[in-house]
Structures are given as structure tokens and as C-alpha cells.
Chains A and B, each alone.
Chain A
Amino acid sequence: MRKPRLVVVGNGMAGIRTLEELLKLAPGMYDITVFGAEPHPNYNRILLSPVLAGEQDFDDIVLNPLSWYAEHGITLHLGKEVTRIDRVQRKVVAADGTEAEYDRLLLATGSLPFILPVPGKDLKGVIGYRDMHDTRTMIETARVKKHAVVIGGGLLGLEAANGLKLRGMQVTVVHLAGWLLERQLDPVAGALLEKSLRERGLDFRLNTSTTEIVGNDAGEVAAVRFSDGSEIPAELVVMAAGIRPNTALAQAAGIHCDRGIVVNDTLQTYDPRVYAVGECASHRGVAYGLVAPLFEQARICADHLATWGIGIYRGSAVSTKLKVTGIDLFSAGDFMGGEGSEEIVLSDPAGGVYKKLVIRDDRLVGACLYGDTADGAWYFRQIKDGSVVGDRRDTLAFGETALGESGTAGQDRAATMADADEVCGCNGVCKGTIVKAVREQDLFTVDEVKKHTKAASSCGSCTGLVEQILMNCLGSNFQETPKTKAVCGCTTLSHGEVRQAIREHHLVSHAQAYAFMEWRTPNGCATCRPAINYYMLSTWPREAVDDPQSRFINERAHANIQKDGTFSVVPQMKGGVTNPSELRRIADVADKYAIPMVKVTGGQRIDLLGVRKEDLVGVWRDLGMKSGHAYGKSIRTVKTCVGSEFCRFGTQDSTRMGIELETMLANMWSPHKVKLAVSGCPRNCAESGIKDVGIIAVESGWEIHVGGNGGIRTEVARFLCKVATSDEVKEYVGAFLQLYREEAYYLDRTVHYIARVGLDYVKQKVVEDAANRRALYERLLYALEGLPDPWAARVAGTQAREYQPLKLDRQIAVALED
């Protein structure tokens, strides 16, 4: 059977990115033909400005060399502009008569510069700034001519002006609006930018419109005249007053266009065989001119071309950066603010730093940064995540630094780091390694950097730094992590969507879940299987079947795997209280099984390290103690202080409270590990301030704090409420944990969950709504009731095979191995 034919019109970033994504999903599915009007292979158009500025050569910015097309069997027509689409015979025709038939057509014709309709616009020396040809014209003109006028003070215009200035020309920028980059900056930041560009020798005419371009006798541009009648000399005029989607070809073929070629959420035009991506496409009334949205479109479009038909494009949030070396500005979201929004402004005009953050409904909605943009990626992430600002408001303007992280040697500014500085403390990856990988392997996303360098792939505390490095390397080519991230490569559904499907459609088995949600893989992967397993168990307790093969080894074997393949065993010791009999048994077990290390843990228990897997069941039997669950995404331990029974400061019996809570929560699975502590007085010896649930006794009752974390990033628990009795402690704590169990995404700690939904929401559900609290609490008790202790179950014979290695008959083995 003949392969279907895919023709791509446009050899730019959007079209080729779509092909790359398609080749990843369905290599060899199509016979592919590409038409490019320019005589070059696909290059990174965004980096034309560094080429103009003399910082890079053309070869540096080529994304796919000719050999790439050959390797993938793609027929490439360079320098051939497609002039006609014949939708009846399903073929495209180029200016030179070259034809190609298609079964699917992808339009990626990009955009054209908007040329002001003024007299003289066709004179020699009047150019746009879109492609390599324009760039070369500018470079050559700069060699022999002196005066340049750039019309338009937007991103492109300023980059052109900066490049021409560096190449020795006198440059004047003419701008219609009252300040530069009026679509990316507010007036204050615009003025700062203007000041620093003036210091570099650029001249500006703001609030000015161009009325005529004056020519000389040879038909070359000689001057530019303005609305106020004044005139300045010009031998080169660069029109950078905007772009418009290149829709001529589609329009001529009768495909519906408005501002651009109109596409639906699957990037399909009104002709179902024809798709459009990139600057030429108009999606929900928006035609994007930045690269990140184009890449998102490319991914979705490829998904549909590969006939997977899952992805939906819902539009993009965009951020911008100016690629003028030495000038840092960043903006994203709704940075102008206005009614109903609040602003946090940090302004230091003398130091050249300006930050404006716009907040609406307690969420960051926009940011405009000038002079110090290191936190741009961090702010942008929060804008996209819509996370609640809450009491971080005080430190928000100071950026990510103000939060503190471990494992990155206190480094938090990618730009100031040397190549040899370590970024990822877990995997020993330094900045230079990441920069090299990004450049040499053409990485665009944090996920790609994780895969190739391993940076940020373990604990993840350096993700922000990696994101910054990537951003610095790529400029606005940076592709942000999408807002609703898919669970893994097996699906396009997010964690929230998966949870919802499991709840609404009563999915209780893996096979059912993968079939219903149209998983791309037959049985998921190591990332999604444990998540799905948890979601089903927590949504349908006593109904969903726990699949041991979908659990990480620690939860499957009920012990913690060590680097040499042995395991650690931590018996339950409620509230950290033990007795001579237990201690004797622990000592006997350590002797009997020759356990190499016995250690006291931070959670007030005893850890037996280096146990061989086949000894686990025997160890558990001889210990005669319950599992401490020190290995699972589950309840861990309730740390306590001595409390009022012995301590002269203690106000309540914190030890007994801890034991009661640990008893209540035994065997509880959760999205991530859950640690509790109960302190008997505000001196807080049990460290309640850094626990998922921290309880502090006071004379009149108990304070409950939630969302603390002592790990990668220290987070102080936040006050939830104060209650009077220990029964209330159990009800409120149980309700909070059940809310977390039902709503948090897999592998989110309580701190992440609260950051997503807001503490007010938690208070409303758990503190204010008494009926809801009791319902949550009862659902928790229902889910936990009757759960067996996993060690006792295994001593009784459950999952026996898991712990038994296979052995060969000894004589056969000897004979064979000799």
C-alpha cells in the first residue's frame, strides 16, 4: 500500500518542528515533501538578531542541516515558492511549475512584515526584517552607508536598531506610541529601556508617525519625513512596525481566513485535509508571533497528523525577552494591571532595576521586569500555574532567592554562575554541561535537559535554576513547561483529568483505566502506573484492586531498597515509644540475620539496614512488630516530645496524642509521604513546624499546623486552626489528610497541594464546613478500616513469591557453569 503523502508549505520553525514531533510519534508514516521559499535549510529565525549584531554566524543558527532531511527521506524543494493550492486535485504548485500531490497539507507560511502604506515604501533601501536575506542586506548596507531609520519600537525594531548600531550605523528609531515596547512593557520600564539604549548611541522619536519616505534620483531612499514636517536623512529604512500572517496562498485557495488562516483546537483549517501552524495561523482569534506557542501548536498538530487524535490546543500564555546583549527585560501575562488588580512595584531607577508584579484574586497574573530578569522563568511558572500568593506576598518581589533551597550550594542566579559551578547536587551536573547539551543537542525544554544531562531529574530542587539556564541559552526560543502537564508520555491527560475520569467513570482496574482513557501504551510506564494505582485506591477504597506490579519496589516489598540491592527494615514504634522486649527482639534479629547496621532514624525509630530480600519475611516474623511504613508514599511516623507526663514545661500529653494519631492512620496510602509531629508546648521539641501535620499543645488545647516540609526546600507549616480536645485533633487532622488524599496529585506533598488550592480553601473545607469535615473524616476511617498490617500478611504467606529467588538444581548449575 502506498504511504499517505504529507506536503509542508514553509520550511520555517513551525513547519519543521511539526515534522520533528511527527517523526517522533510515527516515523515513516508519511511520504513527506517540504517547500521552502528561502534557499536555506531550516534555521532559527529568532537568532537573526545575534547574527545581525555580529554575535553569531548563519551556520550557528541552522536547526536542521540538509542531511537531516535526507536521513528522514524528506523531499526538500528549496527556493521554490508555492503559488497555488489545487484542493480538488489535492496538489500544490510552485512558481517554477514544481508540483506535489498531498493527502494531508500543512501550511506553515509564517508572516510578512507590515509595510507602512506611505509614499516611497517601494524605494530601494526600504526593507522588512523577517529573514536571512533581510539580515544580509542590512549587514551589507551597514558596510557602506551611514544613516538608518527603523520604523517601529517593538522587539524586532529594537533588535534591528541595536544590530545596525553595532555595525557602525547611526540609527534613529521612530515609534508611534509614547514609550518603547508598549505591548511588552509599562511606561516606567519603557523609559528605563529608552535611557539605556540612548546611552548606547541609539536615537529615538516617540509619538511620531512617518508620512513619507523620500527618494533620490536613482530611486534609492534618501530621507524619512514625519507628521510634524521634520525630516532626517536615511540610506536604509527598516520597516518593523509589525507582522501580518501570510495568508495569501490559503485565501487564494478559498480556505477561510480572518487575521490568519483560521484553525480549530486541532490546528485543522476549514478544509479537513489542510492544517496550519505557526505565525500564519489564527487560533481562537489570536495569531501568535512568538516561538513558544508555535512549538505547542506543532506538538498538537503532529499528534493529529499521526492520527493519535488526542491533543487539544487551547492557546498559550506568552512571555517575552529582548535579545539585546546587556539589556535584561522580561514580561509575561497581564502586566499592565488595572481595575480589580493590585500591583507590587520595586523600583530602583538609579540602579536600573524595575519590577512590577500584578496580582488579581490573590494570584500572580502578570510580571514586568527590567534590569533583573533572573526570576522571569519563576514568575512565569507561577502565572501559568495560577498558584496562590498568600503570605508569600511579602517576599514575592525578591524572587525565588528569598525562598531558599538545599543542594544547589546556595546558587540561585544562573546568569552569575561560572561554567564549573554545580547546578544539580544530586547528579553532579555543572552549568557548563547543561549549556553544552542545550547548544549541541538542540534542547528546548526542561524535560529534554533532564533526560540528557540528568540535572533536576532526582530531587528536582534545581529545576528553577535549570529553567533559568535554558532560558538564558535560548532567549525567547525558550519553551516553557506547559500549564497542565501530561502525567507522562503515555497520555496527554493531566493528573487532574485522570483523577476526574477515575472518579466519574468508576474506574477500578488498570486495564479498565488504560482502555477508557485511551492510553498510548498497553500497560503504562513506571511513571503513570503507580499514579493510576494510587488514584484508583484512594477514590474507590475496598473496590479498586491494588496491583503490586504497579508499585515501586519499596511499596511492593514493604521495605526500602538500598544502593546494593539489600533492604532496610523500620518497625513501627508509635510516637517513638518502645520497651525492653521490643529492643531485645530487635537486637536478636540483628544478630541472627547478621544485619550490618542498626541506626536510630530522624523519625524516632530504629532502622535495620542491609537486610537481604529473602530474609525480609523471616526478619518480620522474628521481630513480631508492625510495619513502620518507612518506605512508602504513605503515613510515615508521628514524632512526639515527652509532654506533660514527664516534662516540667509540657502542657498536654503529646506522646499519647501522637500514639493515638499513629494508630488511627496506620497503613494509610497517600499521594506522597506524610509526616506528623506532636509537641507538648510551644518550645516545639518534636519540630512540628516542618511536618505535613504539626500539632503544638498549648494550655487551652491544640494548635494544628499543616503543609510544613523539612526536605529539599524548607517550608514552615501554616496555622490551620486551634481545637480543644484530642478527639477534635483526630477529626480535624483526619479530615485534612483525607482532603489531601482525595485531591492532591500523585507525588505532591501537602505543601504543594496547599500551594495549588490555597490555604483558605483548605480551611473552608476542613474548619468552617463542619458537615464536610465529618464526611471527610468518615471517608478516611472507612478507607483505613480493616487494612491489614502488610508485614503480618506476608508472614502469613501473602505474596510469598516476591521474596523467593529462583534456584537451579545445584548439580545442574555446577555442570553448566563449569
Chain B
Amino acid sequence: MTETGAWVRVCAIEDIPLLGARVLERDSGDGIALFRPAPARVFALADRCPHRGGPLSQGIVSGDTVTCPLHGWNIGLDSGQACAPDVGCVRRYPVQLRDGEVWLSLLPVAQAAEEAAA
């Protein structure tokens, strides 16, 4: 698979509410949550809180974090890491903004790095 082939157009940036999120459904595996913390910024995380699996896409987005709707864990959007003192992390997906369109790679970040190294 070529590198560019892994990228797929998901939606226009305006389709994601500002300070909000949309969830991308997939036939297999968890959904991917797309967050828009600022007008021209977008992040993609697996839609599953490391705590008890809550849907992060339904949380409140503020600054660069999202607060899980189930038990209030805060997850960093750019790192996927839970904010201290909670410990845990969520799979991140490479995401890009090209001409107002959101492009996503379905290979999670760590996995992509490993494959590149191999």
C-alpha cells in the first residue's frame, strides 16, 4: 500500500461543529472521533476512553482536551494521553486539513511509525 493511498477524505471541516466532534463509523473496530478544538484544527482519536470505554466523541471539547462523558477523564487531543493524575492513552490517527477538507489515515499513529521503521 502506498503512503498516500492510506489517506482518505472524510468530510469538510465545517461538518464538524466548532468545539465539538463527529464520529466516523467503521464496519470493523471502534469508531474514530474527529475533534475540532479551533476553526482550522482537527484531531482524530479512537472513540473509546481508556478508563471504561466511554465514547469520547460525545464529550465536551475545551482547549486541547476532551472530557469523557461517562466519568470525566480528560484526554489530550494531540497526545491521546489522559491528563494527570489519570493514566492511560488512546490510539491516535494521522489527520490533515487540505483545502478545508479533513483527510484521515486509518493506520493509527504508533502502528504507522512501526511499519515505517520495518
Contact = CB atoms under 8 A, between A and B. Distances in A.
B42 interface: no
B11 A529 contact: no
25 contacts: A521-B62, A523-B62, A523-B63, A526-B67, A529-B62, A530-B60, A548-B20, A549-B20, A549-B60, A553-B58, A557-B58, A561-B70, A801-B22, A805-B24, A805-B25, A806-B11, A806-B22, A806-B23, A806-B25, A807-B25, A808-B24, A813-B26, A813-B27, A816-B6, A817-B26
Interface string A785-818: 0000000000000000110011110101110110
A565 B25 contact: no
Nearest to A454: B71
B18 interface: yes
Contacts of A810: 27
Interface residues of B, number: 38
Contacts of B98: none
Interface string A522-552: 1111100110000000000000000011101
B61 A549 contact: yes
Contact of B67 (A523, A525, A561, A816): A525
A452 interface: yes
Contacts of A550: 19, 60
A451 interface: yes
A810 B28 CA distance: 12
By size class, the interface of chain A is 20 to 34
Contacts of B67: 525-526
A563 interface: yes
Given A526-B67, A526-B72, A812 B8 contact: yes
B70 A563 contact: yes
Contacts of B58: 553, 557, 561, 565
B76 interface: no
Contact of B24 (A525, A564, A801, A806): A806
B31 interface: yes
A816 B25 CA distance: 14
Interface of A: 451-452, 457-458, 521-526, 529-530, 548-550, 552-553, 557, 561, 563-565, 801-802, 805-808, 810, 812-814, 816-817
Interface of B: 6, 8, 10-11, 15, 17-20, 22-29, 31, 34, 52-55, 58-63, 65, 67, 69-72, 74, 85, 106
A552 B72 CA distance: 11
Nearest to B63: A521
Contacts of A806: 10-11, 15, 22-25, 34
Contacts of B52: 563
Nearest to B52: A563
B73 to A, nearest CB: 10
A520 to B, nearest CB: 10
Contact of A816 (B8, B15, B54, B62): B8
Contacts of A523: 19, 62-63
Contacts of A816: 6, 8, 106
Contacts of B69: 552-553, 561
A817 B27 contact: yes
Shortest 5 CB-CB contacts between residues of A and residues of B: A526-B67, A526-B60, A565-B55, A549-B19, A553-B58
A801 B15 contact: yes
A228 B93 CA distance: 85
Nearest to B10: A806
Nearest to A807: B25
Given A565-B58, A805-B24, A810-B27, 5 more contacts: A457-B72, A526-B62, A553-B69, A563-B70, A802-B17
Nearest to B21: A549
Contacts of A529: 60, 62
Nearest to B70: A563
A654 to B, nearest CB: 37
Contacts of B19: 523, 549-550
A742 B55 CA distance: 34
B26 A549 contact: no
A565 B60 contact: no
Contacts of A553: 58-60, 69
Nearest to B102: A806
Nearest to B14: A801
Nearest to A441: B85
A388 to B, nearest CB: 31
A647 to B, nearest CB: 42
A525 B34 contact: no
A329 B44 CA distance: 56
Contacts of A524: 62
Nearest to A562: B70
B18 to A, nearest CB: 7
Given A452-B85, A816-B8, A805 B22 contact: yes
Contacts of A565: 54-55, 58
B60 to A, nearest CB: 4
B53 to A, nearest CB: 8
A117 to B, nearest CB: 51
Nearest to B29: A817
Contacts of A564: 53
A814 B28 CA distance: 9
A161 B10 CA distance: 75
Nearest to B37: A523
Contact of B10 (A526, A557, A808, A814): A808
Contacts of A805: 22-25, 31
